[in-house]
Amino acid sequence: MKKTAAGMVLLVALAATGFGQGADQQAPALAGGGALQPQRPGIYHRGWIDLDKNGVKDVYEDPAQPIDARVDDLLRRMTPAERIGQLWQRKMGADSVAQDAALLAAGGLGSYLGAAPDAGRRNQLQRAAVEDSRLGIPLIFGFDTIHGFRTIFPIPLALSCAWDPALVERVDAAAAAESAAAGVDWVFAPMVDIARDPRWGRIAEGFGEDPWLGGQMAAAAVRGFQGGNLADPGHVVACLKHFVGYGAAEGGRDYNSTEIGRFTLRNVYLPPFQAGVAAGAGTLMSAFNSLDSVPASANRFTLTDVLRGQWHFSGFVVSDWAAVEELVDHGYAADKAQAAVMALGAGVDMEMVSDCYRSGLPALLASGRVQDSAVDAAVRRILRVKFAKGLFDEPYSRPVTPAAAAAAALAREAAARACVLLKNDGASLPLRDGGTVALIGPLAADRHDLLGCWFGLGRDEDVVTLRDGLAAELPGTKLLVARGCGLTDSDTTGFAEAVAAARQADAVVLAVGEPAAWSGEHNSRSDLGLPGVQQALFDAVAATGRPIVAVLFAGRPLAVPSVLARAAAVLMAWHPGMEGGPGIADVLTGKTDPSGRLTTTLPASVGQLPVYYDHLATGRPFIEYKDGPTAPSRPFGFGLTYTRFAYGPTRLSAERLQSGAITVTATIANVGARAGTEVAQLYLHAAACSFGARPIRELKGFQRVTLQPGETREVVFTLTARDLGCWTPGGQWQAEPGRYESVIAPDAASGRMTGFTLEP
Ligand code: BGC
């Protein structure tokens, strides 16, 4: 290894600060990185450090060469140990710099996770990998930026309720910028698992129950995180997770097994991943669960046959945390060596945390149980992403401060748009300024629980509470605040104060729901009501006869039929993030009209689960439960506004479709007294399908329409034969000739279908 003198000077400066402050203090902000000039002729690197390893610009070191040529050149130079090293990801900790020095110098590691918040440490580790190792292969640093990094946005489930992929894209672009500025190259998001059982706490992290809508959101998230060019320093590599079926955990118990038939797998669980792959996602994470008795992280059918064979995914697959070693716990692999054989053979390129590859592959290669070509294929895929991300050319991250104010404004907008108005009797909402409002409940002035699960580097002190949000928007209103009770305990001593406040008020806003720690990973529930004594608090306040506006905070759909029956208005606010208070206040006061729609069915009871709109028909009339409601509390797609919309009948441009297209039209009128935004939803039903029976309704499109009072608009969708198809169990997209029906409706339970024929 030979370094140039100029390079050495800069390396010393970096070593002294851990962050290159000596060298790059004057460096332009990341966005202006293009302004950097080569330091002297012959130095290929466009930045501030000379990284060539032998005084010669080798092909892999030359940014002007195509990525595949660089990968080939580098791979040729790598020893088996260096190749195996690329396949391992460790957790970054306070002692990583000292502990991993020899490992990094030997080229024995490919990646760290948990890179944030320490960009300085990140750069120190990167320096060890790049400058102390023989070939100088950079590490890639990953982090769980799930709904924001430092600025925390609504949970993904909430965000999906805005039915606006462009909003998802903007939010994830902002999250990417903050992540990248802190040294994160790669985020473990979006989670695109379809979830139909709200007992599963990770329903919070996804985009709901619908495969088509999930695909739209997945693609938007990938665009937001990755931007147009992965090497753009303000963007990060996305990771579609968890492949696949994780959301179907039996009983909603996290990590539990799943049984999913091929037709359902193809048409429900795979589509969002496929959309994310088509949008160019750089990586994908293999899941913890077993799928039909084969663990997802050893599933060659999904990871290789489908993902690479049919979808032509060219990025790399990382396992979920220790999921390779857990093949032993699953009772699938006999030991760690066999786990390595199975996972690598299935198509898992990088092993997160556990070390089956590192400990097992040397002997497995020597004995011929694993072929060199299998390791090379995985290394190649990882290197390709590292080159595409520009890590060979800009391995170090630089301190920049993203625009915090813009992110906060976006977080407020997103929090408002995520709200779904479930009920509004007697126009209880919007609240008018003046008089007295009692703001009651454990979430009235709570900060932490508004952040929700996976809150990155979000801080409680940055959360704006509902109390502060309302006080700012209702300056002429006397606000009486009473906590009433805690979120989960059984202490009722605060009830008296809450009831007294309600009695003095013209209206009550009751802020109730779930703690942040009850959703997300490892958090399942067996009951979907209000935790602790919150229902009793609701009952006590309701007994005063004051009209209640219930604001529900949760990481999942709740089953709260009594709240829905007895409150005058109910607003589902989810876990809304840092600007939750102002965002919700904007909706409660009508500054922002509610326009969110449910992306999951709202169950009436746990006994109904799983409950989702696009179920199959049965051979006999749908049976009713003897002891409780059969219909859910609110259907998929549901959400009220402060005005009312009337739909005319769905009309078709033709009764037959062959080639060409058919248009589906409906007239929507704003028949209320305020402006409002409707989300017109297009549903399809295939009357007969020989590959597998199709759901009673499938979402195929939507349009957002903002109408003034009295205004009418025609909403038009176009369907081609292709739009009518489904995935066969073998993975072909097929639209069978026959009878179809469609409807434009405000939610999955409304409207009358009208039919047409697809001719051969
Ligand atoms: C989770 C993943 C996450 C990973 C890294 C796992 O336990 O299932 O979603 O990305 O940890 O933190």
Helix, coil or strand: residue 672: coil
Give residue 31's pLDDT band: very low, low, confident or very high (50, 70, 90).
very low
**Which pLDDT score is estimated for 2?**
30
What is the crossing angle of helices 211-226 and 271-278, to 10°?
Answer: 30
CA distances from 330 to 251, 286, 289, 298 (A): 18, 15, 9, 11
Range 212-237 average pLDDT: 96
Q: What is the mean pLDDT of residues 373-385?
A: 98
Q: What is the 3-state secondary structure (H, E, C) of 262-327?
A: HHHHHHHHCHHHHHHHHCCCCEEEECCCEECCEEHHHCHHHHHHHHHHHCCCCCEEEECCCCCCHH
Q: What percent of the chain has pLDDT over 90?
A: 89
Using one digit for the tens of pLDDT, what is the confidence trace for 404-436? 789 999 999 999 999 999 999 999 999 999 999
Average pLDDT, the chain: 92
- Indicate the top mutation candidate among 146, 184, 188 to test ligand 1's pocket, ranked by most ligand atoms within 8 A of CB: 188
Going from the Cα of 321 to the center of ligand 1, the distance in angstroms, rounded, reads 6
The pLDDT score that the predictor gives to residue 405 is 84
**Residues present in the chain in total:** 760
- Residue 303 CA, ligand 1 centroid: distance in Å: 18
Section 153-164 average pLDDT:
98
Residue 263 banded pLDDT, cuts 50, 70, 90: very high
pLDDT tens-digit series, residues 560-579: 999 999 999 999 999 999 99
For 53-62, 584-593, 681-690, 707-716, which range has the lowest pLDDT when averaged over its residues? 53-62
**Ramachandran category for residue 93: left, alpha or beta (phi over 0 → left; psi -120 to 50 → alpha):** beta
SS (H, E, C) 492-523: CCCHHHHHHHHHHCCEEEEEEECCHHHCCCCC
pLDDT value, residue 582: 98
DSSP 622: P
Which of these, 341, 262, 251, lies nearest to 289 by C-alpha position?
251
Q: Whose CA is nearest to atom 8 of ligand 1?
A: 320
Question: Quick check: CB of 113 below 6 Å from ligand 1?
Answer: yes
Q: Is residue 233 scored above 90 in pLDDT?
A: no
CA 139, 144, 145, 147: dihedral to nearest 10 degrees?
170
pLDDT value of residue 18: 25
Q: Which long-range contacts (CB under 8 A, 24 or more apart) does 363-369 make?
A: 363/337, 364/337, 364/340, 365/80, 369/341
By the 10 Å C-beta count (0-12 exposed, 13-18 middle, 19+ buried), 700 is classed as middle
Residues 6 or more apart whose Cβ sits within 8 Å of residue 80: 362, 365, 372, 375
pLDDT of residue 578: 98
The residue annotated as part of the active site, out of 320, 446, 593, 614, is 320
Which DSSP category does 421 fall into? E
Q: Are 273 and 244 in contact (CB under 8 A)?
A: yes
Q: Tell me the pLDDT band of 34, cut-offs 50, 70 and 90.
A: very low
Among 144, 256, 455, name the best residue to mutate to test ligand 1's pocket (greatest count of ligand atoms within 8 A of Cβ).
Answer: 144
Show the DSSP H helices in 133-290 as ranges.
156-160, 165-181, 211-226, 262-264, 271-278
How many angstroms separate the alpha carbon of residue 395 from the centre of ligand 1?
24
CA-nearest residue, atom 11 of ligand 1: 321
- In three-state secondary structure terms, 726 is strand
pTM given for the model: 0.93
Most distant CA atoms of the chain, gap in Å: 83
Q: What is the pLDDT of residue 259?
A: 98
Query: Can 132 be counted among the known catalytic residues?
Result: no
Nearest CA to ligand 1 atom 12: 144
> For residue 52, what pLDDT is reported?
67
Atom of ligand 1 nearest to the CA of 142: 5
Q: Is the Cβ atom of 321 under 6 angstroms away from ligand 1?
A: yes
| Mean predicted confidence (pLDDT) in 735-739 | 97
Q: In this structure, what token pair is assigned to residue 665? A: 């039209």
Q: Which pLDDT score is estimated for 398?
A: 76
Distance CA 610, CA 196 (A): 6
Indicate if ligand 1 lies below 6 Å from the C-beta of 521.
Answer: yes
Mean pLDDT of 618-637: 95
- Measured CA to CA, the distance from residue 753 to residue 685 in angstroms comes to 8
**Quick one: which atom of ligand 1 is closest to the CA of 189?**
10
Q: What is the rounded distance in angstroms from the CA atom of residue 509 to the CA atom of residue 569? A: 9
pLDDT > 60? residue 8: no
Residue with tokens 């020893």: 79
- 119 pLDDT exceeds 90? no
Ligand 1 centre distance from Cα of residue 205 (Å): 11
Cα separations (Å) of 561 from 452, 533, 558, 640? Answer: 23, 16, 9, 17
Cross-strand partners of 666: 715
51 band by pLDDT with thresholds 50, 70 and 90: low
Distance of CA 491 to the CA centre of its chain: 36
Alpha-carbon 611 to chain mean position: 21
Sign of the CA dihedral 652, 653, 656, 658?
negative
Name the band, by pLDDT with cuts 50, 70 and 90, for residue 701. Answer: very high
> Dihedral through CA 40, CA 41, CA 45, CA 48, nearest 10?
0
Q: How many Å apart are CA 693 and CA 546, to the nearest integer? A: 50
List CB contacts of 344: < 8 A, sequence separation 6 or more.
87, 357, 361, 370, 374, 375, 378
- Which pLDDT does position 115 carry in this prediction? 76
For residues 221-239, average pLDDT: 95
Which is nearest to 191 in space by CA: 208, 212, 179, 171? 208
